[in-house]
Structure 1
Amino acid sequence: MTVELGHFALVLATCLALVQSIVPLAGSLRGNARMMEVGNSTSIGIFALLGLSFAALTMAYVNSDFSVLNVVQNSHSDKPMLYKITGVWGNHEGSMLLWVLILGLFSALVTLFGRDLPASLKANVLAVQAWIILSFLAFILLTSNPFERIFPAPMQGQDLNPILQDIGLAIHPPLLYLGYVGFSVAFSFAVAALIDGRIDASWARWVRPWTLVAWLFLTAGISMGSYWAYYELGWGGWWFWDPVENASFMPWLSGTALLHSALVMEKRSALKIWTLLLAILTFSLSLLGTFLVRSGVLTSVHSFAVDPERGVFILAILFVFIGGSLALFAFRASELESGGLFAPISREGALVFNNLFLTTATATVLIGTLYPLVLEVLTDTKISVGPPFFNLTFGPLMVPLLFAVPFGPLLAWKRGDLLAAAQRLYFAAGSAMAVIIIALAVMHGTRLLAAFGFGLSVWLMVGSLVDLYYRSGLPRVSPSVAWRRFVGLPRSAFGTALAHFGVGVTLLGIVSTSALETETVRLMEPGSVVEVGGNQLRFERMEARQGPNFTAETGIFTLLRDGRSPQTIESSRRLYTARQMPTTEAGIYTHIFSQTYVSLGDAQSNGGSMVVRIWYKPLITLIWIGTIFMSLGGVVSLADRRLRVGAPSRRAALKVAPKESAA
């Protein structure tokens, strides 16, 4: 009965979404306040019904209800409870239900936090959100019903894909979807503004918090997914330029550009048309990622390679929303004011420079991801575009952008002084040069690019703090006065510094790992010793272990370190009995920011030796620590009182109104 209740809730949510997609928009066009108010109640109702539906599917998993086809295909009675729950979204149907639940959540949040929005704009935003919800609910009900029954019900399920039975997959998809779907709000604001034919700085103030929320969740989601692939797949890499990884990276790049562009629009009423276009393109890239993952056109460890008919349905959704929004943009853009003017050397100019390189980098990743697919369709020729292409195209685009990042906050709005900003960055430049010289000396001048990368990362980290230093009044005022000024700075200033500092930390981890990591592949038997990262790794023994739904062969290693206590590292090969699928569980020992990484290969015919891959990865954890700084920067920026969700207060608006009418 619970399953039928969940299915019925989906149908009711679809009916409400249909109402919300029509009535508030009609009310906005007619100026009918009561019709516009309908969107408020329906958005809450849709979210409640979607929550009920998702809870019903979760209960089916928890109770191992094998009369539900989705549960049969993705669960097992012996599976740990945590993975029974995460199995809800570890498959195509369940993950789409989670996707649309988060859509409903953001629509409800617009209702709750958008009380000060103009009624017409809010009604249009909720209507556009309902269009998106309605399309995906139709997709679920017509092609991907998670509540489909099976008769007769089997006694046991087929279990979840073993590589998805990990804590990382409990966290990664929800974070990623919060990022993907969060950009739908910016998209809805953009389409709503185009419908109204009006856009101003207040629009950017309303959009920027939603964009920031989506961006920080997407940052965390990509980071979590990267670390999961790093330790779970046993390949020793943290980023593979996999097409599905690129599918999440593209909206992140575009969303970063949108954040900076919206800032220019809010502060200077400039870049209005460009900001609208970015809001449309960012969510369009999120939709494209959904298509790539679920259409069956890609074969990837990250993808749901499913029935191509579902891909055709999603392709139709893409055509309607991407094509429709771009057509509306082309129709309305000429009627919108372009915004204020500014000098090339200014903070606005620096942010335009940022946008130029970020969007070019997005286009590069998009071309590298789609070109093999288009070529195969047109010529039936299969090619692979891998890391060499992306490293040679994406990397050079990032260098000038990263070099320019510390200059932006130091330049004045409208017209800045580049020389004065450069003088304030003398210490950052000196620190970077010192690091480059030290790195060249340590590496005997053999790795010039690596030394430059170290210097660039230090330039970013130190440069990100310079703005806070000078805005505190240092060195002109006393430390006590400087401290009072420092704690009184806007939270967005700290958020910006944290995010930029995090980029430098991540870059330091990338450069260190790429340039200095060592890899050893050895045939080892108990008692064998290998040199790794200046230490010794000894293979002790193999042990057979039994898990709740798998068997494992575990290799026990001891890391011997000069003058310090030895550390045990365990790496295993698991066999999940229901699916008869093997997985590799890497053994990782973290020492400060570096890691020793051990992955078991195949056993040899003599039965006493194993192929073992060993990596020493200096400073690799900085890659993910940097993303934590970036996400924290977003959280701190959201705490800025000037960046609260919503419009200026009604009281302020009433004070201005008489002056405008008198004019």
Structure 2
Amino acid sequence: MIVEFGHFALILALLVAVAQVVVPAIGAHLKDERMMRVADPAAVSQLFLIAIAFCALTHAYVTSDFSVLNVAENSHSTKPLIYKLAGVWGNHEGSMLLWVLILALFGAAVALFGNNLPLTLKARVLSVQASIAVAFLLFSLLTSNPFTRLDPAPPDGRGLNPILQDPALAFHPPFLYMGYVGFSIAFSFAIAALIEGRIDAAWARWVRPWTLAAWMFLTIGIAMGSWWAYYELGWGGWWFWDPVENASFMPWLAGTALLHSALVMEKREALKIWTVLLAILTFSLSLMGTFIVRSGVLTSVHSFAVDPARGVFILAILILFTGGGLALFALRSKDMQAGGLFQPISREGSLVLNNLLLVTGAATVLVGTLYPMALEGLTGEKISVGPPFFNMTFGPLMIPLLVALPIGPMLAWKRGDFAGAMQRLAFAFGAALVALVAVFAAEYRGPWLAPFGVALGVYVMAGAVVEWANRVKFGSAKSDEIIRRARNLPRSAYGTFFAHFGIGMLVVGIVATSAYREEHIQAMKPGDQITVNGYNVTFVGLEQARGPNYVEDIADFNVKRGGETVARLTPSKRLYDAPPQTTTESGILAAWRGDLYLVIGDAQPNGGYAVRAYFNPLVRFIWLGALIMFIGGGISLSDRRLRVGAPSRSRQPVAVPAE
């Protein structure tokens, strides 16, 4: 009965969403305040109904109700509770329910906290947001119903994919969807503004906090997925340019560009056309990611569905919203003013360069991801575009972006002093030079470009420190003045410092791990030893153990350094009960200078076991950098200037002149 109640709530949510599309839109057109105010309760009601449906499906998983097809195909009675809960969204149907739940959550948030918005704009934003909900609720109910019953019910379920039975994967999809779906608000604001014909600094101020929130969640979601791939898949790497990894990375790149573009628009009323276009494209890339994951057109260890019929439905949604948004943009763009002018050497100019490189990078990733599919569709030939392509095309685009990153904040708005900015960055250049010399001295055998990459990351980190020091007049003012300035700096400025510093850390981790990684593959018997980057690793033996829903072979390795034992690592191989699938569990000795990473493989004919041992230098900088970026976003979001919306002077948007 609870399952049917959830199904009925989902149908009601669809009807409410339809009303939310139609009534406020008509009210905004007729300037009828009563009709426009329908949007707020409708958005909250839609969230409440979808939440009921989600709770009903969760109840079915927790109680192992195998009369529900979705539960029978993705759960098992012996699964730990955390993975029963994760199983709710660890499949196509359940994940789409989570998708629409988060979509409704963002819509309700605008309804509840968007009181500073003009009534007509708010009504149109919620109407557009509801139109997206209608499309995906129809998709869920017609092609991906999570409440379909089985009769007779099987005695037990098939179980969740074992590689998804991991704590990081339990939380990775919700964070990722908060990012994916969060960009729908920026899209809704863009479409609403195009319908109204009003694009100004106030609009940018209203859009920026929602975009920042989505960017934060997408950042931490991608980082969690990277961390999971690192320790769970047993490949010893953190990023593989997998199509589904790319599907989340593309909207992150476009969303980062949108954040910076909205800042220029808010401060200088420039880049209006470009910012609106970015808002449309960023959400379009999120929809593209949804299509890639769920259509079966590309193969990935992360894919949810391989049903072409579902893919056609999502493709229709993608064409409807992307095509419709771009068509409306094309109709309105001739009426939009370009905004304020500025010199190329200025803070605006540096942010434009930032945008161009980020968007070009996103386009490069898009081409590399979709080219194999297009080629197969046209010629039938199957090819794989892997890391070499992306490293050779995407990497060089990021170098000028990172070089310009610390320079931009040192330039004034409208017209900047480039020579003065270089002088203020002297400490950053000095820190980079020291890092360059130190890495060359430590790793003089090559690769020769890697020290420059590490120095570039240090330069970005030092640039963030210099920016803060410059803002508080560190070194040129008295201590009490420095403290006063530091306290009075807006939180958004501290958020920027943290985000830029985190990017520098991430770059150092990426370069060091990619360039100086040490790898050994060896067949080992108990008593055999292997030396990895100064660690002496001895294979002690192997024993079997029983987990809650698997059996595993646990290897025991004694790790010594300088003759003293520093760790016992226990990598293992697990065989799950349902479905009967094998996974690897790595043994990792984490340290600031790098990770010792061990994986136990198959038994060898001579009685030993295949062992892969890696040393990944500074790999922790990657996830620590992403975490610092996330924290920086949160600090910026807590700035009252973002939370309260546009200042009073901007509450009356300037109408776009019509021709």
Q: What is the TM-score with the length of structure 2 in the denominator?
A: 0.98
1:68 lines up with 2:63 in the alignment:
no
Give distance in 2, aligned partners of 1:234 and 1:455.
30
Contact kept? 1:440, 1:447, Cα under 8 Å: no
Contact kept? 1:231, 1:586, Cα under 8 Å: yes
Report the residue type matching 2:594 in the other structure. Answer: S
Q: Secondary structure at the match of 2:568?
A: strand
Contact kept? 2:593, 2:617, Cα under 8 Å: yes
Q: CA deviation at 1:593?
A: 4.5
Q: Secondary structure at the match of 2:569?
A: strand
1:600 lines up with 2:600 in the alignment:
yes
Query: Cα 1:527–1:114, aligned 2, differ >3 Å: closer, same or farther?
Result: same
Q: Structure 1 unaligned segments of length 5 or more: list them.
A: 658-663
Contact kept? 2:43, 2:126, Cα under 8 Å: yes
Residue of structure 2 in register with 1:490 after alignment:
490
Residue of structure 2 in register with 1:96 after alignment:
96
Q: CA deviation at 1:445?
A: 5.8
Residue of structure 1 in register with 2:210 after alignment:
210
1:279 lines up with 2:253 in the alignment:
no
Residue of structure 2 in register with 1:134 after alignment:
134
Residue of structure 2 in register with 1:560 after alignment:
560
1:438 lines up with 2:441 in the alignment:
no
CA offsets, 1:275-315, max 9 Å, x none? 00000000000000000000011111011132110000000
Contact kept? 2:273, 2:333, Cα under 8 Å: yes
1:46 lines up with 2:46 in the alignment:
yes
Residue of structure 2 in register with 1:661 after alignment:
none
Contact kept? 1:115, 1:646, Cα under 8 Å: no
Give distance in 2, aligned partners of 1:563 and 1:32.
81
Report the residue type matching 1:402 in the other structure. Answer: L
Report the residue type matching 2:348 in the other structure. Answer: E
Residue of structure 1 in register with 2:392 after alignment:
392
Q: Structure 2 unaligned segments of length 5 or more: list them.
A: 654-659
CA offsets, 1:633-654, max 9 Å, x none? 10011111211153435xx679
1:21 lines up with 2:17 in the alignment:
no
Moved more, 303-312 or 13-22: 303-312
Report the residue type matching 1:48 in the other structure. Answer: F
Give distance in 1, aligned partners of 2:4 and 2:305.
27
Residue of structure 2 in register with 1:642 after alignment:
641
Residue of structure 2 in register with 1:299 after alignment:
299
Q: Secondary structure at the match of 2:567?
A: strand
1:355 lines up with 2:355 in the alignment:
yes
Give distance in 1, aligned partners of 2:209 and 2:580.
47
Report the residue type matching 2:611 in the other structure. Answer: V
Note the 1:116-127 alignment, pairs <5 A. Answer: 116-127=116-127
Give distance in 1, aligned partners of 2:32 and 2:479.
58
CA-based RMSD of the aligned residues comes to: 1.2
Q: CA deviation at 1:424?
A: 0.2
Contact kept? 1:603, 1:609, Cα under 8 Å: yes
Give distance in 1, aligned partners of 2:551 and 2:299.
28
Residue of structure 2 in register with 1:544 after alignment:
544
Contact kept? 2:160, 2:578, Cα under 8 Å: no
Q: CA deviation at 1:430?
A: 1.1
Contact kept? 1:297, 1:305, Cα under 8 Å: no
Report the residue type matching 2:34 in the other structure. Answer: R
Q: Secondary structure at the match of 1:292?
A: helix
CA offsets, 1:135-174, max 9 Å, x none? 0000000000000000000111100000010001111000
Give distance in 1, aligned partners of 2:271 and 2:650.
24
Report the residue type matching 2:347 in the other structure. Answer: R
Residue of structure 1 in register with 2:632 after alignment:
633
Query: Cα 1:93–1:161, aligned 2, differ >3 Å: closer, same or farther?
Result: same
Contact kept? 2:202, 2:650, Cα under 8 Å: no
Give distance in 1, aligned partners of 2:521 and 2:428.
41
Q: CA deviation at 1:442?
A: 2.1
CA offsets, 1:452-492, max 9 Å, x none? 01110110000111111011122221112111111211111
Give distance in 1, aligned partners of 2:508 and 2:143.
45
Report the residue type matching 1:551 in the other structure. Answer: V
Residue of structure 2 in register with 1:622 after alignment:
621
Residue of structure 2 in register with 1:364 after alignment:
364
Give distance in 2, aligned partners of 1:534 and 1:446.
19
Contact kept? 1:24, 1:37, Cα under 8 Å: yes
Q: Secondary structure at the match of 2:135?
A: helix
Count of aligned positions: 653
Report the residue type matching 1:21 in the other structure. Answer: V
Note the 1:338-487 alignment, pairs <5 A. Answer: 338-444=338-444, 446-487=446-487
Give distance in 2, aligned partners of 1:274 and 1:303.
33
Q: CA deviation at 1:270?
A: 0.2
1:9 lines up with 2:42 in the alignment:
no
Q: CA deviation at 1:581?
A: 0.6
Q: Secondary structure at the match of 2:420?
A: helix
Q: CA deviation at 1:563?
A: 5.5
Contact kept? 2:201, 2:650, Cα under 8 Å: no
Report % sequence identity: 60
Give distance in 2, aligned partners of 1:327 and 1:502.
38
Contact kept? 1:210, 1:645, Cα under 8 Å: no
Query: Cα 1:435–1:445, aligned 2, differ >3 Å: closer, same or farther?
Result: farther
Contact kept? 2:28, 2:120, Cα under 8 Å: yes
Q: CA deviation at 1:231?
A: 0.7
Contact kept? 1:508, 1:622, Cα under 8 Å: yes
Report the residue type matching 1:638 in the other structure. Answer: L
Note the 1:137-152 alignment, pairs <5 A. Answer: 137-152=137-152
Give distance in 1, aligned partners of 2:227 and 2:470.
36
CA offsets, 1:82-106, max 9 Å, x none? 0000000000000000000000000
Give distance in 2, aligned partners of 1:67 and 1:475.
70
Contact kept? 1:250, 1:365, Cα under 8 Å: yes
Report the residue type matching 1:634 in the other structure. Answer: G
Contact kept? 2:556, 2:569, Cα under 8 Å: yes
Contact kept? 1:299, 1:305, Cα under 8 Å: no
Q: CA deviation at 1:17?
A: 0.3
Q: Secondary structure at the match of 1:89?
A: coil
Residue of structure 1 in register with 2:234 after alignment:
234
Q: Secondary structure at the match of 1:600?
A: strand
Give distance in 2, aligned partners of 1:299 and 1:515.
28
Q: Secondary structure at the match of 1:11?
A: helix
Residue of structure 2 in register with 1:77 after alignment:
77
Q: CA deviation at 1:601?
A: 1.1
Report the residue type matching 1:341 in the other structure. Answer: L
Residue of structure 2 in register with 1:222 after alignment:
222
Give distance in 2, aligned partners of 1:155 and 1:85.
20
Q: CA deviation at 1:589?
A: 1.0
Q: Secondary structure at the match of 1:372?
A: helix
CA offsets, 1:4-62, max 9 Å, x none? 00000000000000000111010001100000000001000000000000000000000
Report the residue type matching 1:214 in the other structure. Answer: A
CA offsets, 1:561-580, max 9 Å, x none? 11644311011111011211
Q: Secondary structure at the match of 1:591?
A: coil
Report the residue type matching 1:436 in the other structure. Answer: L
Query: Cα 1:134–1:559, aligned 2, differ >3 Å: closer, same or farther?
Result: same
Q: CA deviation at 1:605?
A: 3.0
1:531 lines up with 2:531 in the alignment:
yes
CA offsets, 1:248-289, max 9 Å, x none? 000000000000000000000000000000000000000000
Report the residue type matching 1:267 in the other structure. Answer: K
Give distance in 2, aligned partners of 1:537 and 1:371.
44
Residue of structure 1 in register with 2:520 after alignment:
520
1:170 lines up with 2:143 in the alignment:
no
Residue of structure 1 in register with 2:656 after alignment:
none
Give distance in 1, aligned partners of 2:479 and 2:260.
32
Report the residue type matching 2:280 in the other structure. Answer: I
Q: Secondary structure at the match of 1:241?
A: coil
Residue of structure 2 in register with 1:660 after alignment:
none
Report the residue type matching 1:453 in the other structure. Answer: G
Q: What is the TM-score with the length of structure 1 in the denominator?
A: 0.97
